[in-house]
Amino acid sequence: MPARPGARAALVVGALVAAVLAVPGQAAAVQVCDQPLAPDAAVQDVPWAQAGYDPAARLWPFSRGAGVTVAVVDTGVDAAHPQLAGRVAEGVDLVRAQPGAGVDCVPHGTGLAGVVAAQPVSTTGMVGLAPDATVLPVQVSDDVTVTAGGDEPLSPDLLAAGIDAAVSAGAAVVDVGVVAGSGSPALQAAVQRAVDAGVLVVAPVGDGHVPDRDDPGPTPESLTPYPAAYPGVVGVGAATRTGGRLQTSQVGPYVDLLAPGEDVVSTGVVGQRVYEGTGIATAFVAATAALLLALPDAERARPLPDAGPDRVAALTERLLATATGGTDSQRYGTGVLDPVRALTESLASAGPAAATPYQAPPVDPQEQARAEARQASGTTAGRVAAVLGAVLVVGLLAGLLVPRARRRRWRTGVARPVVRPDDPPRFLSGDALYRRGPTP
């Protein structure tokens, strides 16, 4: 019986890992695309997501991702792209069980790599959020697979081998851009090994949500996305330009937060192309994690654990706690990723700052004595005035009421009702009862 693709990949991973992390810029292209794609045109405008984050002004003064390796577990990465030159390690191709993943025939992994580490060039306004980070391509597919369904589902064991290869090669962040056809013990174990090593795993929640069929949610369990559904993985949904959820972005307990996933401009074939979905959204989260990891310790609100699950938990907490606009729901998670807040904001879990105790201003003893004397004098005079006023009022009332009572021989009377032609009706409708008066 022939070995399964996932098992075969697992056997060769150990031998390939030594050749995975080469010097950036020395990638070897071992794959040849059957049908080379036509070059994409340059997109000169600044993409909407990038304009909102404004990395040059709001992120890079704090961190540029230097020294952090982000593994892109996807369809490979075009290491020859002008914006990725010098930022892509050799990687590994697990589809063909050979070193080198510097070619992307789809492309998809190239787009993820661009969101992370694309360099500024004069022909486009698009740049990566963490341009000093290193991208490690780990190829596990020749196709874009971002739903659990489909005719050719991605092997979970092959994906497990990809995560293991990334961790063994020294990646600090593993950006999984695809979804396995199902879960498996091997995939769950690979995720746990990554968490135990202090490596953050980011994965898409899938693009299989059909509004007419699935709204308001959740998405059918048959489309549960792996590895996003495993504990310890940051599950990323896709956000629109306006901060809402992309209609195809899946709904379920595996959604931790959203990131830009609509009309995302990133590196394509030579130029730039537009991507959409939860796969490309993961790259924004991975890039933000790289910025956080590269942040100098002196600039952190709290120290980051050196390794292990605590490190993953701290990174995850910061990413989720600083997301904006969410209510911890199965549709939006904790909200939309906010890299600026993630880098600069202190977390509530660090404890509120102690309130400054109130200190009364110094008091002049002589002035205080004079004030007390004035207060005592004013109080006495006020009481006398109140008594005299009450006596005067009683006298006036007696002068008015006693003669009238004598004329009526001290009998009580009923006042005549005053009738006005413009009086409102005694019955008031419900609308009238709750109608507001004119605004002052």
- Reported as a single tens digit per residue, the pLDDT across 141-186 is 998 888 887 667 899 999 999 999 999 999 999 999 999 989 999 9
> What global pTM score does this model have?
0.75
Has residue 428 been placed in a domain? Answer: no
Same domain, yes or no, for 154 and 254? yes
The CATH number of residue 215's host domain is 3.40.50.200
For the ranges 37-41, 198-202, 347-351, the maximum mean pLDDT occurs at 198-202
Lowest average pLDDT, out of 77-86, 202-211, 332-341, 431-440, goes to: 431-440
Residues across the chain: 440
Same domain, yes or no, for 257 and 288? yes
Domain count, the chain: 2
pLDDT at residue number 145: 85
Cβ proximity of 146 and 179 under 8 Å: yes
Domain that holds residue 379: 365-407
- Tokens standing for 423? 């009086």
Same domain, yes or no, for 338 and 382? no
Same domain, yes or no, for 134 and 269? yes
Has residue 377 been placed in a domain? Answer: yes
Same domain, yes or no, for 165 and 189? yes
Same domain, yes or no, for 280 and 370? no
**Look-up: residue for tokens 């995975």?**
20
Has residue 35 been placed in a domain? Answer: yes
Lowest average pLDDT, out of 169-173, 263-267, 356-360, 374-378, goes to: 356-360
Bridge partners of residue 274, in order along the sequence: 265
Same domain, yes or no, for 14 and 129? yes
Q: In the Cβ-directed half-sphere of 364, how many Cα atoms lie within 13 Å?
A: 4
pLDDT at residue number 428: 39
Helix, strand or coil, per DSSP, at residue 232: coil
Average pLDDT of every residue of the chain? 82
Q: How far apart are CA 100 and CA 114, in angstroms?
A: 18
Same domain, yes or no, for 239 and 131? yes
35 vs 14, 76, 106, 274, CA distance in Å? 31, 16, 10, 20
Same domain, yes or no, for 152 and 210? yes
Quote the DSSP letter at residue 63.
-
Q: How far apart are CA 371 and CA 107, in angstroms?
A: 82
Has residue 359 been placed in a domain? Answer: no
Has residue 392 been placed in a domain? Answer: yes
Q: Is the pLDDT of residue 90 over 50?
A: yes
Same domain, yes or no, for 339 and 383? no
Chain centroid to CA 135: 22
Q: How far apart are CA 123 and CA 111, in angstroms?
A: 17
CA angle 418, 420, 421 (to 5 degrees): 150
Cβ proximity of 275 and 111 under 8 Å: yes
Has residue 426 been placed in a domain? Answer: no
**Look-up: residue for tokens 């306004």?**
125
pLDDT at residue number 325: 87
pLDDT at residue number 103: 92
Name the pLDDT band for 34 (thresholds 50, 70, 90): confident
Same domain, yes or no, for 272 and 156? yes
pLDDT at residue number 435: 42
Same domain, yes or no, for 171 and 215? yes
Has residue 357 been placed in a domain? Answer: no
β-pair type (200-204, 173-176): parallel
Has residue 425 been placed in a domain? Answer: no
Q: Is the pLDDT of residue 202 over 50?
A: yes
